[in-house]
Amino acid sequence: MCKLFTKYEKEIEQYCLENSLDFEKAKRMPQCWGKNDIWLQYHDPQKGKNGLKDETPAPIVLIITINNGRVEFEKTEFTEKYLKKAS
Amino acid sequence: MNINSIEQPIEQRNTGKGNPNAVLTYGAELNNRQKELLTQLAEYDSRVTVSKKSVSMSDLAALTAFTGDEFAMFTKGGKRLIIRGDKISVNIGNDSAECLAAEGYRWSGHTHPGFDYLCMQPSDGDYSILDCFKQEVTVIYNSKGDFRTFEKRS
């Protein structure tokens, strides 16, 4: 798992709780990270069956950025669809 | 400092040759090693195996900056297999990835043409290929030489 995700796990869990998002789902999502940010993505194995022959981007579900030690979150058009907590 | 002690002008000593960002931004040349590699990867789906020490992901980023094409790199022991793609893909499906994995290769990484962060967004295909190699992580470089790491979690 991305070290940033592990380091800020509590903040991410709290954000999920406050926004009715499923933290357990978030933990299991594919992650893509740079120096100061993490993208949680949704992976559809059916769409990936052509491997590198089809580079259609997998949807970014949540963007987590570390800014001067503060964790900032940005929802995307896919956040509710793939991360909403089942009621 | 005596200015006369400078034997070469700065532009001659620091040309940015082979630096992906310099190649992309102001058309710097590839270095000789990269030029030699590109000669062997002249067209789509060209493949070449070279020694591990002779090529890095940063070299592939420079080749992407120069050509606008994707490149993928697989490593086995002391050698690397480089495959040239086109602007949107590399000819590696899940079947061929599984064959490479069975031969003992690992997926070192690949490039996505472009200069921003979003162009480094992994595809569903990227995550599936990671699965084929039973690897936890790999990297995507853009044309500037920036990179992101990605991991498929279960």
Render pLDDT for B56-95 as a digit per residue (tens, 0 to 9): 999 999 999 999 999 999 999 999 999 999 999 999 999 9
Q: What are phi and psi of A61, to 5 degrees?
A: -95, -35
Average pLDDT, chain B: 93
Query: For the segment A8-55, what is each residue's pLDDT rounded down to a tens digit?
Result: 999 999 999 999 999 999 999 999 999 999 999 999 999 999 999 999
Query: Do B89 and B61 form a contact (C-beta atoms < 8 A)?
Result: no
CA separation (Å) from B74 to A66, B28, B48, B50? Answer: 32, 27, 11, 11
Residue B36 in this model has a pLDDT that exceeds 90: yes
Task: State residue B37's pLDDT score.
Answer: 97
Q: How many residues does chain A have?
A: 87
Residue B40 in this model has a pLDDT that exceeds 90: yes
The answer to whether the Cβ–Cβ distance between B93 and A53 falls below 8 Å is yes
For a pLDDT cut of 90, what percent of chain B falls above it? 86
Averaged over B38-55, what is the pLDDT?
97
Helix, strand, coil share of chain B (percent; to 5): 40, 20, 40
Could you tell me the pLDDT band of residue B153, with boundaries at 50, 70 and 90? confident
Q: In which order are the strands placed within the sheet that holds B79-84?
A: A70-75, A60-67, A37-41, A31-33, B147-151, B137-141, B106-111, B71-76, B79-84, B47-51
Interface predicted TM-score (ipTM) of this complex, two decimals: 0.94
Task: State residue A50's pLDDT score.
Answer: 96
Could you tell me the pLDDT band of residue B11, with boundaries at 50, 70 and 90? low
pTM (predicted TM-score): 0.91
Could you tell me the pLDDT band of residue B39, with boundaries at 50, 70 and 90? very high
Distance CA B66, CA B23 (A): 6
Distance CA A81, CA B75 (A): 37
Task: State residue B29's pLDDT score.
Answer: 96
- Report which of B49, B37, B40 is spatially closest to residue B76, judged by C-alpha positions: B49
Query: For the segment A42-67, what is each residue's pLDDT rounded down to a tens digit?
Result: 999 999 999 999 999 999 999 999 99
Query: Do A17 and A23 form a contact (C-beta atoms < 8 A)?
Result: yes
The answer to whether the Cβ–Cβ distance between A30 and B72 falls below 8 Å is no
Task: State residue B6's pLDDT score.
Answer: 58
Take residue B6 and report the two structure tokens written for it: 């400078």
Residue A61 Cα to chain centre, angstroms: 5
**Which residues of A are less than 8 Å from B89 in CB distance?**
52-55
Averaged over B48-62, what is the pLDDT?
97
Residue B43 Cα to chain centre, angstroms: 15
**Which residues of A are less than 8 Å from B94 in CB distance?**
48-51
The answer to whether the Cβ–Cβ distance between A48 and B154 falls below 8 Å is no
Could you tell me the pLDDT band of residue B114, with boundaries at 50, 70 and 90? very high
**Which residues of B are less than 8 Å from A44 in CB distance?**
124
User: In A, residues 11-70, which contact B (CB 8 Å cutoff)?
Assistant: 27-34, 39, 41, 43-45, 47-58, 60
Query: Do B110 and B83 form a contact (C-beta atoms < 8 A)?
Result: no
Three-state helix/strand/coil letters over A1-63: CCHHHHHCHHHHHHHHHHCCECHHHHHHCCEEECCCEEEEECCCCCCCCCHHHCCCECCEEEE
In terms of DSSP bridges, do strands B71-76 and B47-51 run parallel, antiparallel, or are they unpaired? unpaired
Task: State residue A3's pLDDT score.
Answer: 87
Q: B55 CB near a chain A CB, below 8 Å?
A: no
Q: How close, in Å, is residue A21 to chain B by CA atoms?
A: 18
Which residue type is seen at B148? R
Residue among A27, A31, A52 whose CB faces B150 most closely: A31
Averaged over B43-51, what is the pLDDT?
98
Task: State residue B13's pLDDT score.
Answer: 62
